[in-house]
Structure 1
Amino acid sequence: MTTSSSAIRPITGRFVLIAVLSFFAVVIGVNAVMMRLAITTLPGTDVDSAYSASLAYQRDIQAAHQQNGRDWKIDAHIERQAGGTARLTLVAKAQDGAPLAGLSVFGRLERPTDRRADQAFAMTEGGGGNYHGIAHGVAVGQWDLVIEAERDGKRLFLSRNRVVLN
């Protein structure tokens, strides 16, 4: 039995150079693709300025105490339809059960993972403390439902609740 010496190729300096360069080209290429994907999908920061947010913290605490003192009852119902349209219905009543009319009510659905997907509701007052709003293009999943009510430019009510829309 004889072996052919032409079947076995010797490892040359040229082969090693090409193998090393190919290895690093693949590693650098994969890193470049992953870095590009990470940068383009980064949703950004939660707040624009942490310093400004920290200064507003005390005001937020005072506003929460004032809101608790008013003891308003805000009942909210949200429903998502198959086409991606979400309907928000609010019933606002004062501590004594009287309907709260004349408020400027704002509703938002905020995606916990990506601010770019946030959706705002176009809210209208229906009378008797009833408010209705519609948002389009709402995807299935978890959302934070944010409800704000103000009068004369002063925020009187703020609520943030996690909801799951199907």
Structure 2
Amino acid sequence: MTDVPNKNFELNGWHVLSLFVSFFLVVIVVNVAFTVMAIRTYPGQVSRTPYEDGVAYNAKLAQLNAQARLGWRAAARAGDDGAVMVTFLDRAGRPVTGLKVAAKLERPATETGRKNAFLPETAPGAYSARLGGLSGAWDLSLVAHDAAGARFEAERRLTWP
């Protein structure tokens, strides 16, 4: 019989080095892959027109300041049969009459079913319109103008049964 040498695995420096390099190579490849996927799916661009958005924001701030100087207050509520009712009062609590009121209703989570309407004045300072077919929660955005050009904007969530 011949003696067969027992060949046990021995961990030497080259094995440790190759494991160490392989580990960091896998980490680097995964990081590069995730970085490439992140950049492709979201390039970091929030708006395609950032300058114009900034100008519009400044105009919105100016409009809100002018609206605050007016001192008008608006109260909106959901009426029966899909009616939208809005009342306007001035700083002294008197009704604001003669307004042209445009309303937009849309669902909070989707743009489908959006409704636009003009609300005629039904009583001094009271504006309403029946839109019909409304149930559940809707976001109301309204814009009111008077004859002198004053502008008032408001938003409110309304709920119909």
TM-score by length of 2: 0.60
In the alignment, which of 108, 119, 126 is matched to residue 123 of structure 1? 119
Q: Determine the structure 2 residue equivalent to 1:108.
A: 104
Q: Does residue 153 of structure 2 align to residue 158 of structure 1?
A: yes
Q: Determine the structure 1 residue equivalent to 2:143.
A: 148
Q: Structure 1: which 4+ aligned runs deviate by more than 6 Å?
A: 47-50
**CA distance in structure 1 between the partners assigned to 2:111 and 2:139 by the alignment:** 11
Q: Does residue 58 of structure 2 align to residue 62 of structure 1?
A: no
Aligned length: 115
How high is the sequence identity, in percent, across the aligned residues? 23
CA contact (8 A) 1:121 1:134 kept: no
What amino acid is aligned across from residue 91 of structure 1 in structure 2?
T
Cα pair distance change 1:123/1:53, threshold 3 Å: same
TM-score by length of 1: 0.58
**CA distance in structure 2 between the partners assigned to 1:54 and 1:142 by the alignment:** 31
CA contact (8 A) 1:110 1:143 kept: yes
Q: Does residue 156 of structure 2 align to residue 134 of structure 1?
A: no
- Measured after TM superposition, the shift of residue 159 of structure 1 is 0.8
- Measured after TM superposition, the shift of residue 78 of structure 1 is 1.2
**Structure 1: unaligned runs, 5 residues or longer:** 1-46
* Bigger Rg, structure 1 or 2: 2
CA contact (8 A) 1:148 1:155 kept: no
**Structure 2: unaligned runs, 5 residues or longer:** 1-46
SS in 2 for 1:105: strand
